[in-house]
Amino acid sequence: MMRCRPFRYHAPRTVAEAAKILRGEGPDAMVLAGGTDVIPNLKRKQFAPRTLVALRRIGELRTASDDGLTLGAATTLDAIARHAALPEAHRAARIAASKVATPQIRNRGTIGGNLCLDTRCTYYDQSAEWRQAIDFCKKAPGPHGTAIETPVEQGICWVAPGSPRCWAVSSTDAAPALIALGAEVTLVSADGERTIPLTDLYADDGMAFLTKKRDELLTAVRLPAAVEGWRSTYWKLRRRGAFDFPILGVGAALKLDAGGTVEAARVVLGAVASRPLPVDTSGLVGGPLSDEAIDAFAAKAAGPAKPLDNTDFTLHWRKRVVRAWVAGALRELRGDDSEEASLLSRSAARIPEPLSV
Amino acid sequence: MSKPEPKKVITHHDKDPDELRVIGRPRRRVDGRAKVTGQTVFADDMKLPRMVHAKIVRSPHPHAAIRSIDVTAALQAPGVLLVLTGADMPIPYGILPVSQDEHPLCPDVARFVGDPVAAVIAETEEAADAAMPLVAIEWEPLTTVASAEEALSTPEPRIHEYGDDGNVHKRIALQFGDVEESLGKSVHVFEDVFFYEGNTHLPIEQHATLAARDGDGKLVVWSSTQTPHYLHRALAKALDFPAHQVRVIATPNGGGFGGKSDPFNHEVVAAKAALVLDRPVKICLTREEVFYCHRGRHPVKMRFRTGTDADGNITAMDLETLLDGGAYGSYGVASTFYTGALQTVTYEIPRYRFRACRTFTNKPPCGPKRGHGTVQPRFGQEVQLDKIAVAVGKNPADLRLQQLCKPDTLTANYLTVGTIGLRQCIDAVVDGSSFRDRWQKLPEGRGLGIACSSYLCGAGLPIYWNAMPHSGVQLRLDRMGAVTAFCGATEIGQGSDDVLAACVAEVLGIAADDIHIRTGATDTTPIDLGSYSSRVTLMMGNAAIEAAERAKTLLVGAAARKLGIPPSRIALADRRVFDVEDPEKVGMSFRDACCAAEAEHGTLGTVGSYAPPRSPARFKGGGVGPSPTYSYSAAVVEVEVDPVTGWLHVPKIWIAHDVGRSLNPVLVRGQVEGSVYMGLGEAIMEEQVFRRLPAKMSNAAVHKFPSMLEYKSPTSLDMPEIVTYVIEDPDPKGPFGAKEVGQGPLLPIMPAVANAVFDAVGVRIDETPITAEKIARALDLRDKGKDARVGPKAFPSIDWPEGLEVPPPWEGGDGRATNDPKAKHYRAPEERGQEMMSDAARQKATAAQRASQSKSGRVSKEVRS
């Protein structure tokens, strides 16, 4: 089997203790939440931290607030998918969590881990031997990779060899959905804590994709209180019904008035750039959610999406599908397909069985 | 010197189902309990005292000469005991006698990324892993050849010094009757080019091997192999170690599908290290390394030129195939023949020409995967038939039904069709899916497609030429009433242990669970050639019946004397041996009968063996394709296609399989459904493809995604509803009438999906996998008024050799080539012309063949899952 390089392992019991360790260890430390992504990456030697700081013993990271709207970062994805206290308006969060990977991974994987998920690329998510065969790339420019999130001015990006940057893809399902819902996240370091809009956690760079400082720990996600008239969904595109990371995610939330006019809208695309990509929704607001409005918006939304040849499916097709997926998500929010789901919505937005358990 | 008469094979195919107590009844498989409770010991579960671990250092270059290897630093690393290189094992090996082109570790040239170059053996796997980068290799990169077309256009540098020429491994040209003449006279000639993408087996168990020296110095190798006997031969050769001092034990395979039927470099490496260190050596491959073992489906480009009459009946077929073989021979020569072998056993093809070319490329070697070599041309043939049906205005089910092969006939290429349940298969899936009412009548975006296929029930010839049995079974009976069945066959999940138990239990009148099964160990079990070509049920089953009949004779004789009745009145059932005229009162327990027999004959043991009948094909290359009998399958697939994105969904599949007779219906259904699963994966997503970097910047050619995450294979959520029909028409050649079921039902799925997509949205996807993106591209073409098709544009020009000419049986042929100077009955071209039959004579002969009527078969009740 594949083997990790040796590392030191800390499992603090409090957030304060974890923050202190992170401060002390410097850039060679990595946070280990569910481990469903970090451990395989360690085995492939994509990075080689000297220290892992595990969150498994920190009980405060697994609690939810009484109103159910603040979730500890170590809440499992499965728990979020089943989180009945979450208002119906925030359905997108439950759909997104329920569509990550597999039941086994959702049982271990956490919401904080999914939000901080390493960007992905089919040139990068490979073993050390494979990467040696292409003479490595910018994101992991040697046989032992590099510390996560540390830009290194060497190596090439094979996805776009002429480009100075890394084009690895933001592959979190949770982020597009939660940004569409207006979520905030709390970051704690030895210096104290700060709360920022979730969208500000991300930067459009395959390597420096988080604005979080290395010694900051993401501790909680806060969703706004549900307001009458809001509804949300998340459409995920992947080849199979399980396992796969998104090759497109559409998080969408709308507020409709009684007459069907859009009062507010947030639409965020996942997996088409190195960060979750918010779409300008000003064209939607103030009008009805007509077929024409949806199609015009979807066409415009597809513009900034820049899929590249580093995920499943071809980039041309992925670009083409953005429009259909955005339109599909909005039609679902309008109330279409409630009786007989269309082929696309069955594939993209069907909530798997665990929710009914 | 006269040859001995072939022995009579008792198959019991004519038994009435009501007479059978074990066969045909749904049972829990004999190895089921151990698997479900986790007690099955796979190779990687094994641990021995003082065991050490091996890891293999592999080439990072697709094609490169090894200038030097320095192992000094690696040897000094903590825990490292031994580093092996190519120089330690200079003798080549390979599965086919004609392709002895592999080394355990490359001695001079690496031929693909992942080719093994050195092995590090250490106290722990971590220590071996850590020392791997310390093996210093100096490389000289060579030109990369990455596709079959590139291999044709790049004769130098040669990837191997053997083969036909340049980077062409093998060319084949066979002609059965004057195909050009028939095409010239045909009402229609359809010409289509298809491409079938390569894909791999993806067994859940990664290959693992444990090798050790026995206390007395002999070598023992436990390995997840489908072919312990062939591995035994390769180990003895590559290690230059006496074959009789080697024992190979095939551990239960966690899936094989053909991917564990070659002898592998890691097996030889572990054995060599065990011999050198005199310690047990374990190696378990990573998933990535399994992708490098490969031996999976060859990528095949093919051209069909098919002539028909006005009704769409085939008059002649001309097939060319081009195979991308990867870096080594493997089973490739056989795979190449198989791309043209079985076209003739489903529909009558009066004249047939087949030309094939296998190339070497700098990629992991291709070989046999479920349906070996026949899958790719079956895809092309069945999609082309769909096009023919549309062109001549026939329902595609009827087009097939009107020209099915007849039972007990010879084909143009001298294959013997025995029983054929294809008509019943087609009827079952057509009725089940309401195909006649719904084909071409569903709304836009929904469609149905039909396809059929056939497969071998064991290859007629072994891998290496010999006149010995293909399968042997030995029985041991003792005074406790215990029966142990020994056979070299390998349980790879397909249920062969259960087949062995069932055949013996049926004859001896005991339960399958009563029997101790010992299989796949070359030191204790008689040779069986291995779990490949769907040969085990038929061959081992018949050997088991023979061994059991011989044991039964001993028991019956002893019991008859004891009971004072004639042996003809004795029967065995329900663990009793009794008088059929007074079953309740006159009889004894099975155990008492064993005691009586042991008292009379001494220690009880019997053997049975099986060799397939000799094929009527006498031409060179005629050894690939013959089988004791053939299984048949038909499938209807329903699809939904999104007309904007091309998104493809398969909600339901109807599949019928002619299995002759179900030995255990539960396992038959499992194999049918498993085949549908694997076929659907190949149809809609699986592809073993490679990534090249910009040529200016890199020579790299890497497997695009050697992982189970990115090599897409369907999940349970992607599986459609499957309706299975088991067609039972017991075949005289099969044990209790059984034919194969492990591979055949895979074959119709891929073309049926393609045909269903056409029915849904009117576009043709003439290549696999059939993906949303290809459908979207074809929809764009359709909307622009262009040819709504995605697939290869042309078949490359290949320098074919002069073919062997073998007149079909109905043109006076005797199975021999007329223009093979090596053949005994060589006739010069000018002589041959006069001997060809006139058209009138040929038609008469064909009509006589067609006169024989199809036998009716039984359709078991519909099974839903």
pLDDT digits (tens, 9 = 90+) for A52-98: 999 999 999 999 898 889 999 999 999 999 988 899 999 999 999 99
* Residue B820, pLDDT above cutoff 80: no
Q: What is the pLDDT along chain A (357 residues), one digit of tens a residue?
A: 899 889 999 999 999 999 999 999 988 899 999 999 999 999 999 988 999 999 999 999 999 898 889 999 999 999 999 988 899 999 999 999 999 999 999 999 999 999 999 999 999 999 999 999 999 999 998 877 654 444 456 789 999 999 999 999 999 999 999 999 999 999 999 999 999 999 999 999 999 999 999 999 999 999 999 888 999 999 999 999 999 999 999 999 999 999 999 999 999 999 999 999 999 999 999 999 999 999 999 999 999 888 899 999 999 999 999 999 999 999 999 988 654 567 887 777 655 443 433
**B43-142+206-252+260-293, superfamily in CATH?**
Aldehyde oxidase/xanthine dehydrogenase, a/b hammerhead (3.90.1170.50)
Q: Do B642 and A343 touch (CB under 8 A)?
A: yes
Q: A with B: how many residue pairs have Cβ under 8 Å apart?
A: 98
A343 → closest Cβ in B129, B647, B712: B647
Q: What integer pLDDT is reported at residue B825 of this predicted model?
A: 59
Euclidean distance between CA atoms A235 and B809, whole angstroms: 61
* Residue B713, pLDDT above cutoff 70: yes
Euclidean distance between CA atoms B627 and B625, whole angstroms: 6
Q: What integer pLDDT is reported at residue A354 of this predicted model?
A: 38
Q: What integer pLDDT is reported at residue B694 of this predicted model?
A: 87
Q: What integer pLDDT is reported at residue B833 of this predicted model?
A: 47
Q: What integer pLDDT is reported at residue B826 of this predicted model?
A: 64
Which strands sit side by side in the sheet containing B168-176, from one edge to the other?
A: B188-196, B300-308, B314-324, B352-359, B168-176, B804-805
Euclidean distance between CA atoms B491 and B483, whole angstroms: 19
Q: What integer pLDDT is reported at residue A1 of this predicted model?
A: 86
- Alpha-carbon dihedral sign for residues B33, B36, B38, B40: positive
Which has the closest alpha carbon to A92: A171, A174, A196?
Answer: A174
Determine the 3-state secondary structure of B748 from DSSP: coil
Greatest CA span in chain B, whole angstroms?
A: 90
Q: What burial letters (b/e) apply to B236-253, b meaning 16+ CB within 10 Å?
A: bbbbebeeeebbbbbbbb
Q: Give the angle subtended at the CA of B100 by the CAs of B154 and B199, to the nearest 5°.
A: 60
- Tell which CATH classification among 3.30.70.260, 3.40.50.300, 3.30.70.20, 3.30.365.10 matches the domain B17-40+469-610: 3.30.365.10
Euclidean distance between CA atoms B88 and B239, whole angstroms: 9
Residues B588-629: tens digit of each pLDDT: 999 999 999 999 999 999 999 999 999 999 999 999 999 999
- Alpha-carbon dihedral sign for residues A321, A323, A328, A329: positive
Which A residues in the span 110-129 are in contact with B, Cβ-Cβ below 8 Å?
122, 125-127, 129
Euclidean distance between CA atoms B81 and B272, whole angstroms: 13
Q: How close is the nearest chain A Cα to the Cα of B154, in Å? A: 23
* Residue B27, pLDDT above cutoff 80: yes
Residue with tokens 């095949």: B300
The H-assigned helical ranges of chain A are: 15-25, 38-43, 77-81, 91-98, 103-108, 111-115, 128-133, 174-180, 291-302, 315-334, 343-349
Element (H, E) at B546: helix B536-563
Q: What φ, ψ does residue A24 adopt, rounded to 5°? A: -70, -35
Q: What integer pLDDT is reported at residue A357 of this predicted model?
A: 33
Q: How close is the nearest chain A Cα to the Cα of B773, in Å? A: 6
Which has the closest alpha carbon to B473: B530, B528, B396?
Answer: B528
Q: How close is the nearest chain B Cα to the Cα of A31, in Å? A: 23
- More confident of the two residues A28 and B703: B703
Q: What integer pLDDT is reported at residue B650 of this predicted model?
A: 97
* Residue B856, pLDDT above cutoff 50: no
Residues in chain A: 357
Residues B444-480: tens digit of each pLDDT: 999 999 999 999 999 999 999 999 999 999 999 999 9
**Chain A residues close to B776, C-beta within 8 Å:** 317, 320
Q: pLDDT grade, residue B829 (50/70/90)?
A: low
Contact predicate A20/A217, CB 8 Å: no
Which B residues in the span 663-692 are in contact with A, Cβ-Cβ below 8 Å?
685, 691
A241 → closest Cβ in B693, B702, B717: B717
Q: What φ, ψ does residue B55 adopt, rounded to 5°? A: -130, 150
* Residue B861, pLDDT above cutoff 70: no
Beta bridge partners of B341: none
Which A residues in the span 257-296 are in contact with B, Cβ-Cβ below 8 Å?
none
Region(s) of chain B under CATH 3.30.365.10: 17-40+469-610, 173-199+296-461+618-790
Residue with tokens 């089921």: B32
Residue with tokens 């595609």: B396
Q: Do A1 and B125 touch (CB under 8 A)?
A: yes
Q: What's the whole-model pTM score?
A: 0.95
Q: How close is the nearest chain A Cα to the Cα of B553, in Å? A: 52
Which B residues in the span 88-117 are in contact with A, Cβ-Cβ below 8 Å?
113
A contact test, residue of B129, B703, B757, B783 with most A CBs within 10 A: B129
What mean pLDDT do residues B537-566 have?
Answer: 98
A1 → closest Cβ in B286, B641, B685: B286
What mean pLDDT do residues B2-18 have?
Answer: 87
Nearest residue on chain A to B127, judged by CA atoms? A3
**Chain A residues close to B695, C-beta within 8 Å:** none
**Per-residue CA distances from B337 to B321, B334, B343 (Å):** 10, 5, 11
B718 touches A: beta carbon within 8 Å: yes
Region(s) of chain B under CATH 3.90.1170.50: 43-142+206-252+260-293
Q: What φ, ψ does residue B10 adopt, rounded to 5°? A: -90, 120
Nearest residue on chain A to B60, judged by CA atoms? A133
A240 → closest Cβ in B704, B705, B718: B718
Q: What integer pLDDT is reported at residue A142 of this predicted model?
A: 81
Eight-class DSSP state of A159:
T
- Tell which CATH classification among 3.30.360.10, 3.60.130.10, 3.30.930.10, 3.30.365.10 matches the domain B173-199+296-461+618-790: 3.30.365.10
Determine the 3-state secondary structure of B524 from DSSP: coil
CATH number of A230-348: 3.30.390.50
**Chain A residues close to B757, C-beta within 8 Å:** none
**Chain A residues close to B445, C-beta within 8 Å:** 343
Number of H helices, E strands in chain A: 11, 11
A129 → closest Cβ in B58, B641, B771: B58
**Chain B residues close to A127, C-beta within 8 Å:** 286, 288, 706
Q: Do A347 and B649 touch (CB under 8 A)?
A: yes
| ipTM of the prediction | 0.95
Mean pLDDT score of chain B:
95
Tokens of A70: 């603040």
Q: pLDDT grade, residue B84 (50/70/90)?
A: very high
Q: Do B694 and A343 touch (CB under 8 A)?
A: no
Q: Do B288 and A129 touch (CB under 8 A)?
A: yes
Q: What integer pLDDT is reported at residue B860 of this predicted model?
A: 46
Euclidean distance between CA atoms B728 and B858, whole angstroms: 5
Q: What integer pLDDT is reported at residue B824 of this predicted model?
A: 58
Other beta carbons within 10 Å of B50: 10
Nearest residue on chain A to B706, judged by CA atoms? A126
Nearest residue on chain A to B649, judged by CA atoms? A343
